[in-house]
Structure formats: structure tokens, C-alpha cells
Structure 1
């Protein structure tokens, strides 16, 4: 009888341990999938993963843009890696702003959402230019694409400066 109780206790402990391990892995996977820049924690809540509210959708657009940016990392050299880092930092800054905006009353965030949407679009445009430049054959075409990416990045910087000034 004692052996039977011991076996049951061991089986229950193994089951509980397995559930805890799966839960921990799921939380880690969800947190990693929610990061805008891989390896850098986001303040965005895990509930934003499937939310249809404007801020979570913009958050996911930033995350997806940075993922696309990382598909072109073969282009990285001393010059382009700085641009890639600037794009990542811009995405992180807007992600933090989205989290702060989500805490505001709905009426207070309407104008800010329109501005944030324009900024996210400019980051997406810069990433598209960067990725496009990575596929070019000539140095002139690569430089033209990177110049276009910098121009898009400057648009979001101007938007951010205008918000900070007001």
C-alpha cells in the first residue's frame, strides 16, 4: 500500500512539474513574440498579442517591421548597422509611447493615435527602403535605398519632436 501511495505522489508531482514547465515556456514564448526588438523587453502587455484596439495593432506593426528589418541583416556593415539601430530605437520609442497613450482616456488619445499611425507608417516605409536596398546589385542602388530609408526615418523623428514640443 505504501508503494502505491508513493507511486501516486510521484506521478502527481511529475504532472504538476510538467504543467508548470509548460506554463513557464508559454509565458516566455509569448513575451518573446511580443517584443518589438528581439531580446529587448517591451512594456506592452501580453494581452496586446490579439487585441484589436488601435495601440496594440500599431505595436504589432512595429514588431513586424523590425522583424522584416532583421531579414536584411546581411546588408549590415559599418554604415548600415547604424541605420538599422536607429530604426530599432525609433520603433522602441514609439512602442513606449503607444503603451503610455493606451492609458489615456479615449478622447485624449484620438489626435495622438493619428500622429502615432503616421510615425509607424514612416518607420514601415524606412524598413521597406532598407530591405529593398539589401536586394540591390550596385552600390549606387544600395546607397539610394538607404538614403530613402533615412528620409523616412527623419519623418518619424520630426513627428516625435513635434509631439515633445507641444
Structure 2
């Protein structure tokens, strides 16, 4: 009888440990998926392995994620134009990230032909975020509209790069 009680206690303890491990593992997976998002709250098609990978595509993905983190950290003077630019930068980053996932799935020769264009798109988005930060954090709101033209030119450049990638 004592043997059965000990066996039952062991089964309960082992079951509890397994349940705790399952909950912790699920939490870690969810956390990695959230950490991998380019824009917080917007799921990405990028593999979760890219959160730690040293592949070129993974590094470019993380650069996009970091640029969007910086964009969201800006204490901007919001106007209709600045909000539009911010939204444009976010949408461009998502679109480039989708291209990046598609490029990563290509055979090596095709991927190597596409990577310079995707890299240029990532660099342009990063520069756009820098321009946005400069433009929207100045206390002189009269100069804001003029400064946002630099951001718009970056967005136009990303759009052109995306068209090139679509045509390839």
C-alpha cells in the first residue's frame, strides 16, 4: 500500500514537472517570436532562428527590426505628415522583410544576385529612420515639413528598390 502511495506521489510530481516545463517552453517560444517581429504586434514570416543566426538574411532582418525599434523610440512632434512618414517607414520595412524571407528561400546563385538590392533597401530604411528622427525631434515645427522631404525621398527610393526586386 505504501509502495502505491509513493508511486502515485512520484507520478504526480513528474507530471507537475512536465507541465511546468511545457509552460516555460511555450513562453520562451512566444517570447522569441515576439522578439523576431519587425514591428511589435505584427507577426513576421521570418524564421524564429533568424533571431540568433549569423546568416546575411538574418542580420538584415534584425537591422530592420532594430530600425523600427529606434523609430518607435523617437519622441516626435507629431503632425499629419510625420505620422504618414512613420507609417510609410513601417510599411516599407514590412515589405522589405517579406522580400528578404522570399530571397532567403531562393537557390544560392539567385539569392546572391538579390541580396545587394535587399541590403540597399535596408540601408535606405535605416537612413529614413535617421532622417525622420532628425526632422521630428526639432522644436522648430515650421522646418518640420521641409525636413520630412528627406524621409519621403528615402521612402521613394525603397519603393523603387522594391519594384526592382519584384521585377527580378
CA distance in structure 1 between the partners assigned to 2:90 and 2:65 by the alignment: 10
Mean Cα deviation higher: 2-11 or 143-152: 2-11
Question: What is the count of residue pairs matched by the alignment?
Answer: 166
* SS of the residue 1:75 aligns to: coil
Shift of 1:3: 3.5
Runs ≥4 residues deviating over 4 A: none
Q: Which residue of 1 aligns with 2:135?
A: 133
Q: Which residue of 1 aligns with 2:101?
A: 99
CA distance in structure 2 between the partners assigned to 1:113 and 1:66 by the alignment: 20
Summarize the alignment of residues 42-61 of structure 1 with structure 2, pairs less than 5 Å apart: 42-61=44-63
Q: Which runs of 5+ in 1 are unaligned?
A: none
Q: Which runs of 5+ in 2 are unaligned?
A: none
Q: Which residue of 2 aligns with 1:3?
A: 5
Mean Cα deviation higher: 9-18 or 62-71: 9-18
Shift of 1:135: 2.0
Q: Which residue of 2 aligns with 1:27?
A: 29
Summarize the alignment of residues 56-135 of structure 1 with structure 2, pairs less than 5 Å apart: 56-72=58-74, 74-135=76-137
CA distance in structure 1 between the partners assigned to 2:102 and 2:90 by the alignment: 19
- Provide TM-score, normalisation by structure 2: 0.91
Whether the 8 Å CA contact 2:103–2:114 is kept in 1: the answer is yes
